[in-house]
Amino acid sequence: MNERSALAEALTTIGDRWTLLVIAALLDGPRRFGDLQQAVEGIAPNVLTQRLRELERNALVVARRYSERPPRFVYELTAAGHELAGALRLIAGWGARNAEGATAPRHAVCDTPMEARWWCPTCERIVDEDEDELHYV
C-alpha cells in the first residue's frame, strides 16, 4: 500500500491558487461573498462559489446565513482554517524573495522584513533547515 505524504494530503485540500487566496482573504475576519470577490482580485463568481463549497466540505470555512430572502452568507475560517496562516506567511515570504516587485511581510513595530524559523517545542530550540535533524515524514 502506497501511503500519501502529509504534503500530498494538504495539497489535495488547499493546493490551488484560488483556494489559498480565499483563505488569505479570510484571515482578517469574516467576509461576505461580494467582499471576498473584491479581496481576491480576478476570481470569477462561479470559481469563488466552488472554492467556498470545497473549503466548507473540508471544514476550513463555515458559512453563516445572514439573510433568508435572498439567501446570503458570511464566510469565516474555522480553527483548522486559521492554522494555515503560518503556511501562507511562509509562502508569501518565499514569493517576496523570489518574485520581482513582491514585498515580504513586515513587522508592524519596526518595519523589518519577517523571517520564519523551524522550532522544536520539545527541545525548545530553533532548527536550521540545512541541519540533518530536520526531516519530512
Residue 45 lies in a domain: yes
Q: Which of 12-16, 83-87, 101-105, 112-116 has the highest mean pLDDT?
A: 83-87
Domain limits for position 18: 6-82
d(CA 37, CA 108): 27
The confidence band for 9, taking pLDDT boundaries of 50, 70 and 90, is confident
**Structural domain includes residue 76:** yes
What is the number of domains present in the chain?
A: 1
CB < 8 Å & 24+ apart, contacts of 82-85: 82/27, 84/14, 84/23, 84/60, 85/27
Give a yes or no: residue 39 inside a domain: yes
Q: What confidence category does residue 1 fall into, taking pLDDT thresholds of 50, 70 and 90?
A: very low
Residue 12 located in a structural domain:
yes
The domain that holds 46 is classified in CATH as 1.10.10.10
The cell for 98 is 523570489
In a domain, 50, yes or no: yes
Q: Residue 15 domain-assigned?
A: yes
pLDDT at 124 over 70: yes
What confidence tier does 107 reach under pLDDT thresholds 50, 70, 90? Answer: confident
> Does pLDDT of 111 surpass 50?
yes
pLDDT score at 130: 66
pLDDT digits (tens, 9 = 90+) for 66-101: 988 898 999 999 999 999 988 888 888 888 888 887
43 lies in some domain: yes
Give me the pLDDT at residue 46, please.
97
Please indicate, yes or no, if residue 136 is contained in any of the structural domains: no
* Per-residue pLDDT reduced to its tens digit, 27-55: 989 999 999 999 999 999 999 999 999 99
